[in-house]
């Protein structure tokens, strides 16, 4: 795969049944909407652009890994299991918004 571009590599990874579930973070110098959309459309899991430092890259990838770990902990459709995710929506804010409408 060394002789192909990033998009081609992503397509190959997502075509391969053994690799399809591997999370792929796209690192690009482009911030064009069509490049971001195409990367997600090809199966990319995260898009990172215009990094100012290696520490910023580390922070963004760390956040992605934490999110993936949390998502793996959510069991959908199982009965009797406790909820592992917390809603970020404040019910009081939602009530206030409904009142304003």
pLDDT in tens, 18-38: 998 888 888 888 889 999 999
Separation of alpha carbons 23 and 62, rounded Å: 13
Tokens matching residue 94: 């939602």
Report the distance separating Cα 66 and Cα 55, nearest Å. Answer: 16
- Note the pLDDT tens digit of each residue in 37-90: 999 999 998 888 877 888 988 888 888 888 888 887 786 655 554 544 444 445
Instruction: Return the CATH fold of 1-71.
Output: Rossmann fold (3.40.50)
pLDDT at 38: 92
pTM (two decimals): 0.55
Looking at residue 64, what is its pLDDT? 82
Every domain of the chain and the residues it spans: 1-71
Mean pLDDT, range 91-97, rounded to an integer:
49
Which neighbouring-strand residues pair with 72? Answer: none
pLDDT given for residue 1 in this prediction:
46
**Residue 89 is encoded by which pair of tokens?**
């929506």
User: Using CA atoms, how far apart are residues 10 and 24, in angstroms rounded to an integer?
Assistant: 8
Q: How far apart are CA 71 and CA 56, in angstroms?
A: 23
Find out whether 47 and 63 touch, Cβ atoms under 8 Å: no
């Amino acid at each position: 795969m060394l002789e192909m571009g990033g998009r081609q590599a992503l397509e190959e990874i997502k075509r391969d049944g053994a690799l399809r579930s591997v999370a792929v973070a796209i690192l690009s110098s482009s911030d064009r909407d069509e490049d971001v959309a195409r990367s997600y459309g090809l199966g990319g899991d995260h898009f990172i652009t215009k990094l100012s430092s290696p520490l910023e890259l580390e922070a963004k990838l760390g956040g992605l890994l934490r999110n993936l770990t949390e998502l793996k902990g959510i069991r959908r459709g199982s009965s009797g299991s406790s909820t592992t995710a917390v809603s970020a929506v404040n019910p009081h804010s939602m009530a206030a918004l409904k009142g304003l409408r």
